[in-house]
Amino acid sequence: MYNYRVATVWGIPIKVNISLVVFLPVLAWIIGGTGQIELYAGLVEVVSGVPLDVETLQAGNNGFVLGALAAIGLFASVTVHELGHAAAARRYGIETSAITLWILGGLASLERLPKEPGRELVIALAGPAASVVTGIACYAALFVVPASAPSVVFVLGFLAITNVTLTVFNLLPAFPMDGGRVLRAFLARSRPYVDATRIAARVGVMFAILFALVGLFGGAPMLLLLALFVYSAANGESRVVALEGMLDGFLVKDVVDRDRPTVDADVTLDAFAQRVLDDRVDHHVVRDRGGRVIGLVGLDALREHGRDTGTLVGDVATTDLPTVDLTTPAFDALREMDKVEYAFVTDGTDVVGIVEREDFASLLELTGLSQRDRFAQ
C-alpha cells in the first residue's frame, strides 16, 4: 500500500513505500545534524587513512547535505542488496515481481520460494554478497578520490562501513532475515521443510524479543520496529509454509465442491429468493441456457435489488471472478485467491464450476483429522 514506482532494473519495478518517503529526511537529519558526522568521520579516517576536517563537513548546511547523500546512498545500497537476491533467484527460474524499499530496508518479492535447501541458501546469501561487494567498491574508491574532496570521501567511507555492518547484522539467524533463511536452508537438509521453517521461526521470535528488549532499554526505536517485523513475519511465514505442507499433493479438482447449488440465469430475483430459502445456501452458481457456468449470485444481490420480479439473476450475477484450472495445485490457487472469496474453475477450456475459500478450509479440516488419526495409530 502506498508504494511508488521510481525505476525499473532488469524488468523489475523498484518501488518506494511511503514509510521511507517520510523516514528519509529523518535519517538525513540523524546522520547530518546530531553529531553523527563526527563519529563517522573518525571511522572513515581509520578506514581510509585520509584526515577529515569535521568543522568543514559541518559548516553551514553541509551536514544536512551530507546526511541526505549518505541516506540516499544507503538505500541505493539496499536496492543493490535486493537485486542480488533477484539475480540469484532468476538463475533458478524464479522471477521477482517487485523490489520495495521501506523504513526497515528492502523486500524482494519473489514469485515463489525455492524448497531446495541449496537454492534457498544461494538466494539468501546473494543479497549479503552484493552488499559486501558494494562496501568493497566504496572502500576501493576511497583510494581514488582526492583528499581535496572531503565530502565525497565521507559519503564513500560511510557507505563502505554501513554496507559491511548491515551485512553482518542481516546474517543474524533472525528468520525471516537473510541469516534466518540460511538457518532454514541448513535445517532443511536433514528434516522436512515445514519443520525447518518452524524451528527457524522460533529462533526468529527469540531474536525479535531480544531486539525489543535492546530497543526498549537502549533507546533504539528502530529496533522495536524491527522486532515487530521479525516477530510477525516469522510467525506469518511459518503458518504459510505449514498450510502449504497440508495442501501438498492436492489439486483444485480435489477441493472444488461439485454439488454447489445452481440457478438458471433467466430466473427472476423473486424466484431466486425462494430458492435460497429452500436450499439454505446463500450463494448459487449461475448457468446460462446452454448449461455453461457464467457467474455467481448471492444474498448481496437480493439486498441490493430486493425480490424484483422484473430483474433476472443473470443481470446481477458476479461475472468478473479470477480463474483457476482444475489441475492447479491447491496452495497456488489459494494464494491467487488471496483477496477474493470465489474463483471460476476451468478444465483448460471451459468454466466448469466455482471454488470458494471455504472449500479449502474444509479440505484442511479433513487433512488435519487424517493426520491426527494417523498419529493416534
Going by C-alpha positions, the residue among 368, 14, 338, 254 that lies closest to residue 6 is 14
Domain boundary among 132, 154, 171: 171
Say whether 373 counts as a known binding-site residue.
no
- Going by C-beta distance under 8 Å and a sequence separation of 6 or more, which residues neighbour residue 205? 230, 231, 234, 235
Predicted local confidence at residue 135, as pLDDT: 94
My answer on whether 287 and 162 are in the same domain is no
My answer on whether 152 and 286 are in the same domain is no
C-alpha cell of residue 166: 548491515
Say whether 81 counts as a known binding-site residue.
yes
My answer on whether 41 and 146 are in the same domain is yes
In a domain, 256, yes or no: yes
Helix residue ranges, H only, the chain = 18-33, 36-48, 54-58, 62-91, 117-141, 150-170, 178-187, 193-217, 221-247, 252-255, 269-279, 299-305, 313-316, 330-336, 357-376
In a domain, 291, yes or no: yes
In a domain, 242, yes or no: no
Active-site residue, 82 included: yes
My answer on whether 257 and 364 are in the same domain is yes
Say whether 85 counts as a known binding-site residue.
yes
Domain that holds residue 106: 3-171
Number of domains composing the chain? 2
Domain boundary among 151, 171, 191: 171
Per-residue pLDDT of the chain (377 residues; tens, 9 = 90+): 688 898 999 999 999 999 888 888 888 888 887 677 888 888 888 887 778 777 777 777 778 888 899 999 999 999 999 999 999 999 999 999 999 998 888 889 988 888 899 999 999 999 999 999 999 999 999 888 887 788 888 889 889 999 999 899 999 998 889 999 999 999 999 888 888 888 999 999 999 999 899 888 887 777 888 888 888 888 888 888 877 777 778 888 888 877 778 888 888 887 888 777 777 777 888 888 878 888 888 777 777 777 766 778 788 888 788 888 888 888 888 877 777 888 888 887 778 888 888 888 777 776 654 444 433 33
Element (H, E) at 351: strand 351-356
Predicted local confidence at residue 368, as pLDDT: 55
Exactly one of 82, 120, 237, 244 is catalytic; name it: 82
In a domain, 188, yes or no: no
Neighbour count for residue 366 (Cβ, 10 Å): 10
C-alpha cell of residue 331: 496452495
Cβ(103)–Cβ(225) below 8 Å: yes
The one-letter code for the residue type at 170 is: N
For residues 297, 301, 305 and 307, what is the CA-based torsion angle, rounded to 10 degrees? 60
Domain boundary among 171, 199, 226: 171
Predicted local confidence at residue 192, as pLDDT: 86
Predicted local confidence at residue 50, as pLDDT: 77
My answer on whether 160 and 274 are in the same domain is no
- Paired residues of 99 in beta bridges: 14, 108
In a domain, 121, yes or no: yes
My answer on whether 18 and 159 are in the same domain is yes
My answer on whether 166 and 17 are in the same domain is yes
Predicted local confidence at residue 1, as pLDDT: 62
Residue 279 is part of a domain; what is its CATH number? 3.10.580.10
Tell me the whole-structure pTM to 2 decimals: 0.75
In a domain, 177, yes or no: no
My answer on whether 258 and 163 are in the same domain is no
Rounded CA gap, 212 and 222, in Å? 9
My answer on whether 162 and 15 are in the same domain is yes
Q: Is 10 left (phi over 0), alpha (psi -120 to 50) or beta?
A: left
